[in-house]
Amino acid sequence: MNVISTEADIELLVHTFYESVLKDELLNPFFTSLNLEKHLPKMVDFWCFALLNKSGYTTNVTEKHMQMPLEGIHFERWLTLFNATVDTLFQGELAAEAKKRAQLIGLTIQYKLNHK
């Protein structure tokens, strides 16, 4: 099993994760209208920024979700799928960091949604 160390690793993580999200009955409706050709590179940029300290990501990740009808169950499933993807593909410090950051992102968005 590999460690996360390159942008190619992040691309594999993001693309594999979104494959599982698109197959998920609970989460798929949030992604069907999304232009994945534009969205996936942004997610790769985000995770490269978060894990590899690569510059270039400038979007507010929480702000993009504020108009969506998300509930706790959606965040739980998202995190479960994300963690399973990480665990299937990678090990090591940055894999653990990716899972921590994903959890923090989910908690932050949930908090903001409940206080808007």
List the CATH code of the domain at 2-114. Answer: 1.10.490.10
The pLDDT tens digits of the residues spanning 4-18 come to 999 999 999 999 999
Q: Three-class SS of residue 57?
A: coil
pTM, two decimals, is 0.91
Evaluate whether 26 touches 73 at the Cβ level (below 8 Å).
Answer: yes
R_g of the chain computed on alpha carbons? 14
Could you tell me how far CA 10 lies from the centroid of its own chain?
11
Q: What is the mean pLDDT of residues 60-80?
A: 80
Domain ranges (residues) in the chain: 2-114
